[in-house]
Structure 1
Amino acid sequence: MATLVLDNGAYTAKIGYSQESVSVIPNCQFRSKTSRLKTFTANQLDEIKDPSGLFYILPFQKGYLVNWDVQRKVWDHLFGKEMFKVDFSDTSVIITEPYFNFSSIQESMNEILFEEYQFQSALRTNAGSLSAHHYFHSRPSELCCLLVDSGFSFTHVVPYCRSKKMKEGIRRLNVGGKLLTNHLKEIISYRQLHVMDETHVINQVKEDVCYVSQQFYKDMEVSQLKGGENTVVKDYVLPDFSSIKKGFCKPPDEMLFSGKYKTGEQILRLANERFAVPEMLLHPSDIGIQEMGVHEAIVDSIQSMPEEMHAHFYQNVVLTGGNTLFPGFRERLEAELRSLAPAHLPVSVLQPANPICYAWEGGKLLAHSPDYDEVVVTREDYEENGHFIYETRIVGKSSKKRPADFEVEQTTVVEYYN
């Protein structure tokens, strides 16, 4: 039986068969101002000739799946002939859901997967559990890891021990890629050009020019200097979707501080916005969000765990999600953790080669695991027992008690680290 792995994120869906490679596709529908009557789904975004003023129709709100009409249309597109040509009579599916998902959403998802699409078996789990499975598969000697998953809606900090998520250690920050893009739109609209309707373009600007500062106050001083002494400032050429299809940064030698450019080029000049926007991941209070930063949430999460586990969590902090791709994020987070962690404990922050698809790759490994048949729910199981069959078949099921295997292997692991 073929296994389809679907990491169903709030902004992108990572999908592919377990024997093949992954495809990253927008998990939403679009309408453009030039063709208001037509709705584009998922990767049909490429068909829109003028994406300026693009209107997103998202199935997720605040991290939870609430618009089933949009989600069905996206899934119909992904599962249909244009994309993966899924044969539901001979396919199993691994699909992700948010942490602390509502039971009503879970029940609806079960009904759609088994009753509408008629998959032969399904596994509904958290993306972090798949990432943890991937991590422990690549590092079998490790007992613990702490996942930082910074996505579109939220940033989650989740401790795992032997692939079991420690529920009491989960921390959620209401800071994600959507908030960062919206804040950048507000700054640019206030200082230079009204771009509040240009979510698609400004999201690209954010990905192209933003970075996490290693010395925030020093970079702030540099960004206020004049002329060539200002090494922070960047000039970004906005797309016009005729001659310029995609925006780009001007090379440093072509930047003109007089502000005179080629006719037809529309320029955004970005200075402290480049590092002030990603700084919200570490200091949400800068814009009035009274929450911990990522580094503080990590320390708080680890402190809630048994003391003998602390060293293993600090040494195995794993970054996943699109926001971890900001240049300098890993180095800054490691430095911030080093300043907060006990001096005798080593700190190591690890960034996978592809943090966006790390959970999907974990699902791919799980699909080929001999344990897969034990955790998956078959269509027959569901028809006989209903929604509650999932309570006994869940990957990364939380455990409030200290795992017994941690105590048994503690001596060996301490010797390994020393």
Structure 2
Amino acid sequence: MKVESSESDILVTEPCFNFASISDAMDEILFEEYDFRSLCRISAAELSSYKFVNEDPDARLVCLVVDCGYSFTHIVPVYQGKILKEGVRRMNIGGKMLTNHLKEIISYRQLHVMDETYVVNQVKEDVCYVSQDFYSDIEMARRKGKENKIIRDYVLPDYTNIKRGYIKPVEEMWDKSKTNENEQMIRINIERFSVPELLFHPSDIGVQEMGLGEAIVNSIEATPPEMQPHFYINILLTGGCSLFPGFKSRLCAEIRALAPVEFDVVVHLTSDPITYAWQGGKILSHTESFSDMLVTKTEYQEHGKNFCRNKFGGKET
């Protein structure tokens, strides 16, 4: 990053309820090895909430951050910059599991791609979508030929002529005269929507957890009753998985079906959900109050790891 660490403050995100031993090790590395001047540890949900609430502070009193990330999904209610710990929920399903599941399906049915995580991740991002009517899409996927509006051919990269894979145009799929023998393709059909469906029905692959819509409602119900209507209208989606086409509308429908009828449900999807927390951190780091959130290297050397634990919400030992 070409910065002088001894003259720099660092803002680091960590998961909710992170193990104290991991946090202690990170503090030690940042202060002892990298020699940063001061440190702030905070969750990505708090940074996302900070940016979201500050965009319209009069209307947004609270924020429910739904972070559908790579390794897992976190649902975090935040009020006045503080996490309501009783409402935090975690699903052990994220982009990595979806990619791995797609690798297994393609390897079993067509081509061995178990070692091609990067390529299959691109396939997932390019062709997968969240179904609005799962059983109707299954019926469509069963059709043959041009009647099947879901099936797609995906041209894999060879890193010589094709640097990045792409979806073959639909009109070329059934025209054999436009087939290129040098192209290596895989055909994606039901996988297009069955893979993202795991976020809503983890039990499809034997993961005994709540689906995303159910987990969100369960999280809100764990918060004080007077706050619940506000959380339902301030649901913020972040993380790469929220970029699946149809994700927002499907999630909104799932929550609407489970939420009390007297409450409105509003789901917000940002223009760049992957870097939204970073943007919140950037704004926070330029405020006057940010200096009060820091632990300096001098304080760390004088008081040790317990000072950081107390400052950042951990427990003293």
| TM-score where L is the length of structure 1 | 0.73
Out of 221, 225, 229, the residue aligned to residue 307 of structure 1 is 225
Return the alpha-carbon distance in structure 2 between the equivalents of residues 390 and 295 of structure 1: 35
* One-letter amino acid of the counterpart of residue 90, structure 2: R
Tell me, yes or no, if structure 1 residue 107 matches structure 2 residue 29.
no
1:250-286 deviation line (CA, Å, top 9, x unaligned): 1111112769821111111101100000000000001
| Structure 1 gap segments, 5+ residues each | 1-83, 399-418
Partner of 1:31: none
Return the alpha-carbon distance in structure 1 between the equivalents of residues 187 and 264 of structure 2: 41
Return the alpha-carbon distance in structure 2 between the equivalents of residues 124 and 190 of structure 1: 43
Greater share of residues in strand: 1
Contact 2:172 2:178 in 1 (8 A): no
Partner of 1:387: 305
Partner of 1:276: 194
Tell me, yes or no, if structure 1 residue 129 matches structure 2 residue 129.
no
Tell me the CA shift for residue 133 of structure 1.
1.1
Q: 1:393 to 1:139 in 2, by over 3 A?
A: farther
* One-letter amino acid of the counterpart of residue 267, structure 1: M
Tell me the CA shift for residue 317 of structure 1.
0.4
Tell me, yes or no, if structure 1 residue 97 matches structure 2 residue 97.
no
Q: 1:174 to 1:109 in 2, by over 3 A?
A: same
Tell me the CA shift for residue 99 of structure 1.
1.4
Contact 1:315 1:347 in 2 (8 A): yes
Tell me the CA shift for residue 355 of structure 1.
0.4
Return the alpha-carbon distance in structure 2 between the equivalents of residues 257 and 379 of structure 1: 67
Percent sequence identity is: 54
Out of 288, 309, 312, the residue aligned to residue 370 of structure 1 is 288
User: Superposed, which structure 2 residues align to 1:312-391 within 5 Å?
Assistant: 312-391=230-309
Partner of 2:57: 140
Return the alpha-carbon distance in structure 2 between the equivalents of residues 307 and 257 of structure 1: 60
Return the alpha-carbon distance in structure 2 between the equivalents of residues 199 and 210 of structure 1: 16
Return the alpha-carbon distance in structure 2 between the equivalents of residues 147 and 234 of structure 1: 34
* One-letter amino acid of the counterpart of residue 166, structure 1: L
Return the alpha-carbon distance in structure 2 between the equivalents of residues 220 and 257 of structure 1: 25
User: Superposed, which structure 2 residues align to 1:395-410 within 5 Å?
Assistant: none
Partner of 1:296: 214
1:142-167 deviation line (CA, Å, top 9, x unaligned): 21111101111110111111111000
Tell me, yes or no, if structure 1 residue 231 matches structure 2 residue 149.
yes
SS at 1:371's partner residue? helix
* One-letter amino acid of the counterpart of residue 327, structure 1: P
User: Superposed, which structure 2 residues align to 1:118-267 within 5 Å?
Assistant: 118-141=35-58, 142-256=60-174, 261-267=179-185
Return the alpha-carbon distance in structure 2 between the equivalents of residues 259 and 236 of structure 1: 17
SS at 1:269's partner residue? strand
Which runs of at least 4 in structure 1 moved beyond 3 Å after TM superposition?
257-260
Tell me the CA shift for residue 241 of structure 1.
0.8
Contact 1:227 1:257 in 2 (8 A): no
Tell me the CA shift for residue 347 of structure 1.
0.2
Contact 1:322 1:356 in 2 (8 A): yes
Return the alpha-carbon distance in structure 1 between the equivalents of residues 177 and 203 of structure 2: 34
Greater relative CO, 1 or 2 (CA 8 Å, sep 6+)? 2
Greater share of residues in helix: 2
Return the alpha-carbon distance in structure 1 between the equivalents of residues 177 and 220 of structure 2: 50
Return the alpha-carbon distance in structure 1 between the equivalents of residues 306 and 70 of structure 2: 30
Return the alpha-carbon distance in structure 2 between the equivalents of residues 89 and 121 of structure 1: 9
Return the alpha-carbon distance in structure 2 between the equivalents of residues 348 and 259 of structure 1: 49
1:102-142 deviation line (CA, Å, top 9, x unaligned): 11111111111111111001101111111111112112122
Return the alpha-carbon distance in structure 1 between the equivalents of residues 177 and 196 of structure 2: 26
1:201-228 deviation line (CA, Å, top 9, x unaligned): 1011001100001111101110111111
